[in-house]
């Protein structure tokens, strides 16, 4: 089975949705699938240098191959004419395409080419069919749907959702297609938790028994920081002791990131907060493992890969009921789930901060659940089963 993955970018700068391909591709290859990933060298929209990668030639890694194409002529929209031209020439060599992203010109064009070349394809919308997300740039998206995406959705062999809730609320624009619900995966990592705690203690002068509350995600309005910051301020006034770590960035909206930083610096939180900026590698892993609580009060989240990463690190989570793995978190008692409301968040955080034994219990539950349900090996096998079912029906 030869599978082609098409994704606008795999740069770390775009967060978890793009990175998913780098977890799934080697896991599929390990199960005997021939995998090729095509993508662009895009690495941000506001002046960042492109990825330093070879262009237009296969790069072998982890059992699969990846081909990068120059992002041009529309860098802001991660488009590549060379990628589309390559797809026209080579589509016949594959059994199935797995296209990641909607409302992205390169993904939309790729779907059109797949139909023209009779290559069946799966679309993964990355949460873009959520009614809340569709409200952003609403008129432009309505036009985009009418011109391109309704036909792309109708022509798909299936739509890949990462949670039951994402599938349930998604707008299909009147199109009936097969749904695949396959979660994202995480890779367990080990790092020096002691060193990370020591670093925070030495830099900020916090004692070893102060709980660390971690937010690690893109600094974006949808992530609920306008709920989290006032909730943390209220907790300080109530006498709760904690240290807040804000980890993340948003190169696509630096003004909002600066606004959040300014808000914290002019708040009572200032002396109780460490702002790390973008983190990756060992520092990211060690922060996830050193934290006593991971918090993500998003207004909508089609899966919440950062939540799964915290869970596999053994850290209990405090999330909103709009993060679409909230039911799994509740049922497995891996953390606390509440409404997108400041007082609701205050109540959850207060309960968690005042009960270290309960935090530990839910953290162990979180790790056990994540290792069982969010391993890439298990997800690869589930994905292969879906691929085979689609190809059998087509034949």
- What are the φ and ψ backbone dihedral angles of 75, each rounded to 5 degrees? -60, -40
Q: How far apart are CA 323 and CA 330, in angstroms?
A: 12
The 8-class DSSP code of residue 161 comes to: E
Same domain, 349 and 387: no
Count the Cβ atoms, other than its own, within 10 Å of residue 185: 23
Same domain, 299 and 365: yes
- Per-residue pLDDT tens for 317-326? 999 999 999 9
Q: Which helix (H) or strand (E) holds 122?
A: strand 121-124
Q: What is the pLDDT of residue 191?
A: 60
Q: What is the CATH number of the domain that holds 15?
A: 3.40.50.2000
Q: How far apart are CA 92 and CA 119, in angstroms?
A: 7
The model carries a pTM of 0.85
Contact of 298 with 223, CB cutoff 8 Å: yes
Same domain, 209 and 224: yes
253/212: higher pLDDT: 212
- Per-residue pLDDT tens for 97-123? 999 999 999 999 999 999 999 999 999
Q: What's the token pair of residue 13?
A: 């700068």
- Per-residue pLDDT tens for 11-51? 877 776 677 899 999 999 999 999 999 999 988 766 678 88
Largest CA-CA distance found in the chain, in angstroms, rounded: 65
Q: How far apart are CA 326 and CA 344, in angstroms?
A: 15
Same domain, 255 and 115: no
- Per-residue pLDDT tens for 264-279? 999 999 999 999 998 8
Same domain, 161 and 175: yes
For residue 86, is pLDDT > 80?
A: yes
Q: What is the pLDDT of residue 252?
A: 79
Best CA proximity match to 46, nearest among 278, 252, 257? 252
The 8-class DSSP code of residue 250 comes to: -
Same domain, 236 and 312: yes
Q: Is the peptide bond before 338 cis (omega within 30 degrees of 0)?
A: no
318: alpha, beta or left? (left if phi > 0; alpha if psi -120 to 50): beta
Same domain, 158 and 213: no
Same domain, 31 and 174: yes
Q: How far apart are CA 260 and CA 229, in angstroms?
A: 9
Same domain, 151 and 82: yes
Same domain, 222 and 109: no
Q: Domain limits at 29?
A: 2-185+375-394
Same domain, 148 and 107: yes
Q: How many domains is the chain built from?
A: 2
Mean pLDDT estimate for the chain: 91
Same domain, 9 and 146: yes
């Amino acid at each position: 089975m030869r599978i082609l993955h098409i994704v606008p970018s795999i740069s770390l700068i775009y967060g978890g949705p793009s990175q998913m391909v780098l977890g799934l591709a080697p896991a599929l290859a390990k199960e005997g699938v021939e995998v090729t990933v095509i993508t662009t060298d895009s690495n941000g929209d506001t002046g960042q240098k492109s990825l330093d990668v070879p262009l237009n030639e296969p790069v072998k890694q982890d059992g699969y191959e990846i081909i990068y194409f120059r992002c041009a002529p529309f860098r802001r929209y991660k488009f590549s004419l060379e990628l589309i031209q390559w797809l026209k020439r080579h589509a016949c060599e594959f059994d199935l395409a797995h296209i990641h992203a909607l409302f992205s010109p390169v993904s939309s064009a790729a779907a059109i080419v797949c139909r023209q070349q009779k290559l069946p394809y799966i679309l993964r919308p990355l949460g873009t069919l959520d009614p809340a997300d569709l409200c952003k740039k609403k008129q432009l998206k309505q036009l985009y749907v009418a011109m391109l995406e309704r036909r792309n959705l109708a022509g798909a062999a299936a739509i890949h959702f990462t949670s039951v809730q994402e599938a349930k609320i998604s707008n299909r624009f009147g199109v009936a297609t097969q749904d695949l619900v396959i979660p994202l995966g995480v890779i367990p990592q080990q790092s020096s938790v002691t060193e990370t705690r020591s670093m925070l203690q030495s830099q900020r002068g916090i004692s070893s028994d102060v709980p660390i509350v971690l937010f690690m995600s893109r600094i974006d309005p949808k992530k609920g920081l306008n709920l989290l910051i006032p909730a943390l301020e209220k907790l300080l006034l109530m006498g709760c002791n904690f240290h807040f770590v804000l980890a993340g960035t948003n190169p696509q909206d630096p003004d909002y990131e600066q606004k959040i930083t300014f808000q914290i610096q002019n708040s009572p939180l200032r002396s109780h907060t460490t702002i790390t900026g973008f983190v990756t590698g060992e520092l990211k892993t060690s922060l996830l493992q050193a934290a006593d609580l991971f918090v993500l009060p998003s207004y909508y989240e089609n899966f919440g890969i950062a939540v799964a990463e915290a869970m596999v690190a053994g850290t209990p989570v405090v999330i909103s009921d709009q993060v679409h793995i909230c039911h799994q978190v509740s049922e497995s008692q891996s953390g606390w789930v509440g409404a997108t409301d400041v007082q609701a968040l205050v109540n959850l955080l207060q309960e968690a901060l005042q009960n270290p034994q309960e935090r530990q219990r839910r953290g162990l539950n979180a790790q056990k659940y994540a290792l069982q349900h969010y391993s890439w090996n298990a997800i690869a096998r589930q994905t292969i089963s879906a691929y085979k079912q689609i190809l059998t029906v087509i034949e």
